[in-house]
Structure 1
Amino acid sequence: MMEPEKLPVRKIIHVDMDAFYASVEQLDHPQWRGKPLVVGGNEARGVVAAASYEARKYGIHSAMSSALAAKKCPHLIFAPHRFDRYREISHQIREIFYEYTDLVEPLSLDEAFLDVTENKKGLKSAILIARQIREKIKEKTGLNASAGVSYNKFLAKTASDLNKPNGQAVILPEEAEAFLEKLPIGKFFGIGKVTAEKMQKLGIHTGKDLKEFSLQFLTKKFGKSGLHYFNIVRGIHLSEVQPHRVRKSLSAENTFEKDLITLAEMEENLRPIFEEVIRRIEKSGIKGRTVTLKLKFSDFTLQTRSKTLEQYPEAEMIWQFGLELLRQEDIQKPIRLLGLGISNLNITEEQAHFGEQLRIPFSLE
């Protein structure tokens, strides 16, 4: 493990648009402003892709079934997707990013990492750059963005959630470990609901709890991810901003504490995985022609089953093909992991922008 004092020094910003799809709809439809609104689905069926902050007050969130959302808020507004419009605004936002740096790593239409260690404006303050970017986004698009600033991607992403909506936060190097010790384990970027529950059963409720477990213990309990958890709670995350990264697939999976034996159990547990895939599809605007089911058995052997279509399937069709692949042939062994994803995506590689990342004395101020 690399010692903290030897870590590469960077200035990283994570910009995240606030309730992006829902905010675009409210921007373009003034009559919907200030009202609970979701994008995707309808009162009877479908999945919520995004929820306005007014809708979130009713406990509505992305990946929730539309029917349940309608029950929680009877006067909820359902807006259809308009991905062309979302991509148009996303392109405008990225143009602002490139005014400052070519080291931009988009995560979806509405969020990205920026490395501003060396930037086109010659500014020393990453905090100032984040503020300027948010102001320019508001001026150009009429939408609010939040931002997080720190010395690595993990902490910048964590910081961007602290003062949402329409805010920003910074985690300085000397503050990182104390901040992470107090952070609830479910708030750690990259630790999902299932992993958080597993950690809580081990008595890990905060970063401080996590920090008390050895690397050997975490690796035994969480496999390769154990090293990641060991590092991040100490403020160590070495992943660089990758401006040329091209997504090849989009998927979600779940490892179960108890193996699945019956087909009914498998179908029941495939549903939330499918809903997470749809949430990621809706957020990114990506579509794929190949649907793939991933099966890992109790003996750790792996099998994938795929189906490629001539056209990009909609959400319900992805679910039906997922079930079809699951039922394709009898499953003779218990299942410890299920995954579902899409590939053959509707995106092409854009020209990558490269820049040399300088190692300079760190000062977010």
Structure 2
Amino acid sequence: MSVSCVCRDCAAAFDGDPLRCPKCDSRRLFRHPELHRLTIGHIDCDSFYATVEKRDRPELASRPVIVGGEDHRGVVAACCYVARMSGVRSAMTIREALDRCPDATIIRPDIAKYKEVGHRARAIMEAFTPLVEPISIDEAYLDLSEVGDRLSISPAQALVEIVRRFETELRITASIGLSYNKLLAKIASDLDKPRGFSALGRADGPAFLAGKRVTILWGVGPALERKLFTDGITRVGDLQDKDEHWLVKRYGAMGRVLFNFARGEDSRRVQPESVSKSISAEETFDWDVTALPALTQELRPLAAKVARRLAREGLLGRSVVLKLKTKDFQQLTRSRRVEPTADADAIFAAGLALLEREVDGRAFRLIGIGCTDLVHPATDPDPELDLFGH
């Protein structure tokens, strides 16, 4: 089988398996049989917050850097790869991080600065394709299926050029995942960090996934992993051995997702970001919850989180939505029309009224609250409330 190749330094593309790039003599070559036929990319910036801080403070270039709260009760928001070598991880307390890496430099997060760099990174991506779906400030999916017609380069070359511009214009690094769908592109970008490039083709998917833990699949968090484990499913290969009917009967709609993902199939399209249609927050419990006081206690901080996000984006919500998931994975959503608001108390009050109607002894494993029908205050036309109050 012929092998296609792209140079990681100059983005030259060629067939064959040379040791060096014929154009720039670089040894940084990436090879894959399906390289130029794969069109979905995932770009993930490497240790983004810490990399930006090191960029701005060159004296820290070779030192361990932790971005997070400055006191010992704070948590690690991000850390560089030098700190990771000592066992430091995101969400770890600063106290534990310093126990593992005593010589680390602690830097308080500068979110405004990170957003500015993130916006510039997005502009670079959008110069190659309008089909960019940001996942967070430092990662995005890209549909590069039209880049050949627009720029006469392959998707693989486009991804290399994007990351090269990150390095030269923004002085940050990123890792690339390339595949034929979002699921595998995201997985690929995690395989060779930092400054990595990995691809998973149609011939790779099922066999590659078979031996991996089920948590490698999108949507499989700790709670679902525990449920799968009770059914003897720990590896993706175990899912591949189950038929679709059994999985749907056992896990509902998620069963069909698991059936497809386990086989490397993902029909989700890359969706360019538009104005937020909803803002929400949710919490999955470590154990099932039935009592209203306990559910209410979880609901209040979630409402506050939604309010903060609305305020940050300058938006008001005209509907409050409550989300509940039962212990058998049945999902319930209930909504109520409200006066346009970004107030935590108003959001909580509407959510609590919806919650009180649903608490009837059932056990819940997840609760969430959000606002939909979002508007900017300056353009809100003083909407009429729904006649039935929901």
**Pairwise TM-score range, normalised by the shorter structure:** 0.7 to 0.9
The code of the aligned residue for 1:207 comes to: V
Aligned partner of 1:230 in structure 2 is: 259
User: 2: distance between equivalents of 1:49 and 1:306?
Assistant: 36
Give the Cα–Cα distance (whole angstroms) in 1 for the partners of residues 340 and 109 of structure 2.
Answer: 22
Give 2:163's aligned amino acid: R
Farther off after superposition, 247-256 or 154-163: 247-256
Whose radius of gyration is greater, 1 or 2? 2
Match runs of 1:219-258 below 5 Å: 219-247=248-276, 248-254=278-284
TM-score under structure 2 normalisation?
0.68
Whether 1:199 aligns to 2:224 is no
Other structure's SS at 1:173 match: coil
Fraction of identical pairs, as percent = 32
Partner Cα separation in structure 2 for residue 72 and residue 306 of structure 1: 50
Determine the structure 2 residue equivalent to 1:113.
Answer: 141
- Counterpart among 68, 80, 83 of residue 52 in structure 1: 80
Structure 1 residues 175 and 122, CA gap change in structure 2 (3 angstroms):
same
Name the structure 2 match of 1:97: 125
**Does structure 1 conserve the Cα–Cα contact (< 8 Å) formed by 2:66 and 2:83?**
yes
| Aligned partner (choices 161, 177, 194) of residue 165 of structure 1 | 194
- TM-superposed deviation, 1:334: 4.9
Q: Which has the higher strand share?
A: 2
* 1:155 match: 184
2:268 aligns to what SS in structure 1? coil
- 1:295, 1:335 within 8 Å by CA — same for their partners in 2? no
What displacement does 1:46 show?
Answer: 3.4
Uncovered stretches (5+) of structure 2, i.e. residues with no partner: 1-36, 377-390
3-state SS, counterpart of residue 180 of structure 1:
helix
Map 1:294-333 to 2 at 5 A. 294-296=323-325, 333=361
Q: Identify which of 56, 61, 64 aligns with 2:89.
A: 61
Is the CA contact (8 Å cut-off) linking 1:286 and 1:345 kept in structure 2? no
Note the C-alpha offset of 1:97. 0.8
SS at structure 2 position matched to 1:239: coil
Amino acid at match of 2:182: K
Superposition RMSD in Å: 3.9
- 1:259 alignment counterpart: 288
1:314-338 deviation line (CA, Å, top 9, x unaligned):
xxx9xxx89x979x98966354123
Structure 2 residue matching 1:189: 3-state secondary structure:
coil
Distance 1:33 1:188, change over 3 A: same
Maintained 8 Å contact 2:38/2:155: no
In structure 1, C-alpha distance between the alignment counterparts of 2:45 and 2:130, rounded to whole Å: 20
Amino acid at match of 1:130: L
Measured after TM superposition, the shift of residue 141 of structure 1 is 1.1
Partner Cα distance (1:105, 1:298) in 2: 32
Question: Aligned equivalents of 1:297 and 1:213: distance in 2?
Answer: 24
Q: 1:36 aligns with which of 64, 73, 77?
A: 64
Hey, what does 1:146 align to over in structure 2?
175
Q: CA–CA distance in 2 between the matches of 1:298 and 1:130?
A: 42
Task: Give the CA deviation at 1:339.
Answer: 2.6
Larger relative contact order, structure 1 or 2 (CA cutoff 8 Å, min sep 6): 1
Deviations 1:104-159 (A, max 9, x none): 11111101111111113121x32222222211111111111001000111111111
1:362 matched residue in structure 2: none
What is the TM-score normalised by the length of structure 1? Answer: 0.73
**Secondary structure of the equivalent of 2:245?**
helix
Q: Distance in 2 between matches of 1:192 and 1:227?
A: 16
* Structure 2 counterpart SS, 1:194: helix
SS of aligned partner of 1:50: strand
5+ residue gaps, structure 1, are 1-8, 349-365
Matched, 1:134 2:195: no
Letter in 2 for 1:211: Q
Q: How many residue pairs end up in the alignment?
A: 321
